[in-house]
Amino acid sequence: MVPIRRMMVAFALLALFPACGKKSSPTQPANEQPGASIYISGYYEISSRWYSCYWQGTTRYELPGDGTHNTSANSIAVSGTTVYTGGSFNNGTWNVPCYWAGTTRHDLPTGTGHSDVYAMALSSGTFYGAGYSFGAAGSLHNTPCYWQGSTMHVLPADTSQDGEATGIAVDGGTIYCSGHINSTGGSGSDPCFWVGDVKYELPHDTANTSYASGIAVSGGTAYTCGFYIINGRRIPCYWQETVRTDLPGNGTNSASAYAICVSGGTVYVAGYAHDGGKRVPCYWAGTTRHDLPGGSGFDNYAYAVTVVNGTVYCAGSIDNGTRRVPCYWAGTTRYELPVDSTANGYASGILVQ
């Protein structure tokens, strides 16, 4: 089991920080960038069990589940001195949505089956989480929803199809969510975003599958990132409201966009681009792709992005040929995060102060 959106959409959007390349810099074994306070959510696997955690500086903090089954921490935010992470834990029957304040778990209401928090934001001290809940609309499907505090809000969608909310932002008291709904007949997936309870379809090739994986808001304008598939190739993109901008890969192989923020009027998107041999972690500033130093193995991803004082920070994982290593990048310098030396690990969200 790989918890973050079953590795299809693996970003944890830092919606609290809206309006929040060259392969040259060296890598570092630990994650302390001078002059910055860095918080990262993630999880790692030991003996087929997944453990949630967050890193503050070079210190890893474990996040409790039920003590026996898998957990997943998908996103992170900070209020004062308290670190918040959103995700889920398995109770032996299904995945239960939750968030942690520090290391204290707060379970969230759910429907009748698996549920998860994929992204979170804080606004005026209130927790907001986006995800899905099976059976929440009274149907036998995954239902897109968000949680405000401990109250679950079902988002309008076709209740005869599976759907999920993948990102969340709160701006001026208005709640924005990104997501996608399976197409009628199960032929693909249709991307969308919600402003409050109003759903907006995002333009795409309706004959092919498309996904919206994250959202940011700047100046009252919604920016959503994702990708669509044509002839088996993933094409990354972002939408400004409902206007789509494609992002460059290498023109032949797949690339994907997982997270988005806006800073100084520039749109930043994190993801990967396949170079024909392996997946290369990257971010796009506008439509310019900046590749990040990855590992020697095939699977290298940037799942989250934020920009602070002009520096682009991304979180993700690299494949060193033996295992997946959680890491983050400050500019083009990669910092690996401490986990057990045999563990596969992923960094899912990043916050920089």
pLDDT along the chain (353 residues), means of 10: 38 36 38 74 97 93 98 97 98 97 97 96 97 90 96 92 96 97 78 97 84 97 96 95 97 97 98 97 98 96 98 98 97 96 96 96
Which residue is listed with tokens 């209020």?
Answer: 79
CA distances from 171 to 80, 86, 135 (A): 19, 19, 29
CA distance 281 to 98: 29
2 by Cβ neighbours in 10 Å (0-12 / 13-18 / 19+) ranks as middle
CA distance 348 to 41: 5
The 3-state DSSP class for residue 184 equals coil
pTM for the predicted model, two decimal places: 0.91
CA distance 305 to 283: 8
pLDDT at 36: 77
Domain ranges of the chain: 4-352
**pLDDT tens-digit profile of 172-226?**
999 999 999 998 765 689 999 999 999 999 998 777 789 999 999 999 999 999 9
pLDDT at 15: 33
Q: Span 4-352: which CATH code?
A: 2.120.10.30
pLDDT at 38: 97
**pLDDT tens-digit profile of 288-312?**
999 999 999 999 999 999 999 999 9
Strands 174-182 and 189-195: antiparallel
pLDDT at 99: 98
CA 222 to chain centre: 17
Which amino acid is residue 70, in one-letter code? N
pLDDT at 3: 41
CA distance 68 to 77: 26
pLDDT at 17: 33
pLDDT at 9: 36
CA distance 150 to 129: 10
